[in-house]
Each structure stands twice: as structure tokens, then as C-alpha cells.
Structure 1
């Protein structure tokens, strides 16, 4: 696809954490399509990918940041960093069902992994005096689901606050930081969440999905967003067309959040 100059990423170097599957893979494809050379980071090898390089690393582990930084140094730095890695594996059943270990897992994956990777990679961006960072959050930062993903919601709310502070810190030095907060994504992980809710309540998977939809209060446009639509928003945010967008949280939820 041919992109207008302001949306083109020709010659840019990008890294996508969580870029080997799902939304992360869609982001890799979108950035590549716009002309960027993309490194995809993931815990597992992708089935197929358009990434120029794949780095196998678990971003929840502190040592992963050094592995990722080494890959970035080998290609001479990056211009774009997108942190997609996230999710929830905690049991349903409300706050009392979450152990300390569950909380550690949720915070490590959905907050601290981004913090560590940013800390490892921003020095390179600062030396070149430019860059764009996008953290993928969630509308649950605003409307947490207490039954299935309370720890996840709390971690994403913390990620949103961290991102805003980081944006204010880095903007004077030429680095833009923004957050994209999807609502329901048409993905295997959404179906897995519905299954966990179903297991906790002793109901069918179909009923679990309906519970998930109901818990969101309904989606005005009537569907979960395909990953490609969210990737398009991220592609815009890291382009020159979004040059004055700093510290924003862009919600992509089909109208699920109904308050101002």
C-alpha cells in the first residue's frame, strides 16, 4: 500500500514487543506495510511474520530488557517502540480469588515489562533526539471488570498513568509517548477470557462470552474490533502525521465507554 508522506514510515526502525502473534503481529504488519524495518519480540516463534528480525524473549523477565537492547544496538537504534505485550491469566471470582502470585503476574506483564523495556531503549532515542513510543493499554483502566480481570485492569490503569508521566518527561527531548486503549478485540485471548469466566461460574463458553459482552455494558457498533483496525491507529500515532499528539490515550472500543 502507498501511504501519504506524513503517514509513511519509510526508513524508520521499529521494535514491537509482543509482536509475534495477535495484535502485535498486526502492528508488525502495519508498520512494515508503511515502510518501517521491524524487529518483533515475543516469547514464542511466530508461525509467519513480515518482521525483518524476530527476538525470542520473555519481557516479563528483567533480563529480557538487556536482550532486546542488544538487538536494537545491532541495528543502530530505533525510531519507533510499540509495547503490545499484555493479557490476563488470573482466575475469575473477584478480588478474593487473586493471590499475591496472580497480582505479581498481572503487574509484571501489563506494567513492569513496558517500564523495563523503556528504560533500556530510551537512551538510544535520547541520543538521536527523536522517537515515538506507544503503549497498548485497555479500556479496563477506566471500567475494570471485577469478576475476571481486576488485576489486569489495575495494571493497565498504572500503565496509563506511567505513560502520561513519561510523555511529559520525554517530549522536550523529541520523543513522543502515547497510549492506545482497545476495548474488545476479536482474538483468541478474548475467547479464552470468556472460557475462564465460564469455568468460574459453571456456565457454557457461549454464556461466558455473553457475560463478557454484558459486563462491558454493550458495544454500540455491535462488534469486537479486528486487530488490523487497532494497528492502523498505532501506525498513525508513530507517524509524522501525529507529530503534535503527545501524552494522549486513544480509545478504540466501538463506543463501549459511554461517558466523557
Structure 2
């Protein structure tokens, strides 16, 4: 919430319709909760219909890795929300391998489908509506792994790097229509998926730490840290911000 005059609180996303992919746990769930607190109407997704969304959000089961899944999700957003003002692409992830040469071809394709092409497909379906209404905000959730690419995650890192490049290009294309596109680039965050991935990596390479010892601010991030960054980028406070990549990592990773 923001505060405007005489201590009166304003819901800065009141009246906004938001779609958040992968919003049933971790960063996605934190974004959904923060949007709801800010007054938005929220639709989120999970691969399984048995998943539970944060209270107050609508949920649709959708596999965003496929064109059919993206089309079904876009149709659901129009049906449930009547259109969208905000889109947050949070669904993502990949498993580590011992080296880049050990990554199977199908894992490369899956990483591209989930971490990059899902956003491209969904944006192509929903951005035209934002252009027509002359306003909108899109946020792509990337990863600070793009700042220090390593072989075990090269399929994931390459997909996220493509996502960031695509985001900058899309921002330039949509800016004249009042639609802003930005990227949030999280570092080491305490989420169920992130912890599982780091544990698998540590089994492959015991030198990899699981705690926040290497983070200059002294701790791993919380999902809420990323949700606040996403909220800022979709809010009127960031009305002159587009084509940016906001790194939220406690200072751990070197900047370009």
C-alpha cells in the first residue's frame, strides 16, 4: 500500500487485473499475495488442478510450456478477469547436470519452453489487448544465474538470458502504446523449488554452499523480497521504467 495525504492508505493496484504464472508457491505465491493486498484481482496458474492458490486468487491449471497451454490460459484470463492489465511470468526452473555436455537434448528444449518460450507465447496473446487499451505492465522473472553462467545450469541460464534480451526488445516495441516491460532478476531465494535445486547441485558438486554465507547482506532472500520488486515495477511508481532488469540478490552477483 502507498500513503497519500493525511495518512490515508491507497490500494495502488485497485481495479487492476493481474495474471501471475506459477503462483501457488515460492516467489509466485508471494507475488500473488502482494498483488491481492494492493487491491488487484488476480488469476494464477499451476500445472496441477490439485494445487492451491493464495486465498482470494483464482486458479487455472495450465501447462505454459506448450502453445496449447498458453492459448488456454489467455482464454481463461479473458473469461475470468475480462482482460489483463498486468502479466507476471514467474513459472520456471530446471534441474542441474554435472556439466553442459551432460544436459540431454530434451532438457534443453524443456528449459527453453518453460523459461523463455512460455513468456513469448503468452505475451503474443495478451499484449495486443494491452496495446489497444493503451496501458499495461509485463514483468518477466529471470535469474541472477545469468550473471555467472555455469555448465550444470547452462540450459536454464541460456533460456533466462534469452528472456532478458527478449524483454528489452519487447519493451521498445510496446513503449509507444503505454505498455511497460521489465525483468526482475532474483538471486538466492528461500523457496521450495530453489532449495530442492540447490540440494541437487550440492550432491553433484559439494563445494556449492546452501546458505547465505556468500551474500553480502548476510542472508538468502525471501519470496517477499522479490514480490516487492515486482509490485514496484507494475505500479504507477515505476511509470517511467521500462526495458530494465532489476537485480534483487543481496549484492551477491557481479553486475554487467
What TM-score does the superposition give when structure 1 sets the normalisation length? Answer: 0.90
| Residue of structure 1 in register with 2:36 after alignment | 32
- From 158, 164, 179, give the equivalent of 1:160: 164
| Residue of structure 2 in register with 1:145 after alignment | 150
- Per the alignment, do residues 176 and 159 of structure 1 end up closer, same or farther by CA in structure 2, a change over 3 Å counting? same
Matched, 1:42 2:41: no
Alignment of 1:162-177 (within 5 A): 162-177=166-181
| Residue of structure 2 in register with 1:187 after alignment | 191
Long gaps (5+) in structure 2: 5-9
Q: 3-state DSSP class of the match of 1:149?
A: helix
Q: 3-state DSSP class of the match of 1:32?
A: helix
Alignment of 1:1-260 (within 5 A): 2-4=1-3, 8-44=12-48, 45-74=50-79, 75-89=81-95, 91-146=96-151, 148-201=152-205, 208=206, 211-212=208-209, 218-259=214-255
Q: CA RMSD in A?
A: 2.0
Contact 2:202 2:209 in 1 (8 A): no
Alpha-carbon distance, 1:84 to partner: 0.3
Q: Deviations over 1:102-133 (max 9, x none)?
A: 10111111101111110111111111111000
Contact 2:175 2:242 in 1 (8 A): yes
Contact 2:213 2:219 in 1 (8 A): no
Q: Determine the C-alpha separation between the residues in 2 that align with 1:177 and 1:79.
A: 12
Q: Deviations over 1:120-155 (max 9, x none)?
A: 111111111110000000111121122x31111111
Q: Determine the C-alpha separation between the residues in 1 that align with 2:56 and 2:165.
A: 30
Contact 1:7 1:240 in 2 (8 A): no
Q: Determine the C-alpha separation between the residues in 2 that align with 1:33 and 1:97.
A: 44
Contact 1:40 1:51 in 2 (8 A): no
Q: 3-state DSSP class of the match of 2:208?
A: helix
Alpha-carbon distance, 1:257 to partner: 1.9
Alpha-carbon distance, 1:46 to partner: 3.1
Contact 2:199 2:210 in 1 (8 A): no
Long gaps (5+) in structure 1: 202-207
What TM-score does the superposition give when structure 2 sets the normalisation length? Answer: 0.91
Q: 3-state DSSP class of the match of 1:20?
A: coil
Equivalenced residue count is: 249
Alpha-carbon distance, 1:48 to partner: 4.8
Alpha-carbon distance, 1:194 to partner: 2.4
Q: 3-state DSSP class of the match of 2:184?
A: strand
Alpha-carbon distance, 1:68 to partner: 1.2
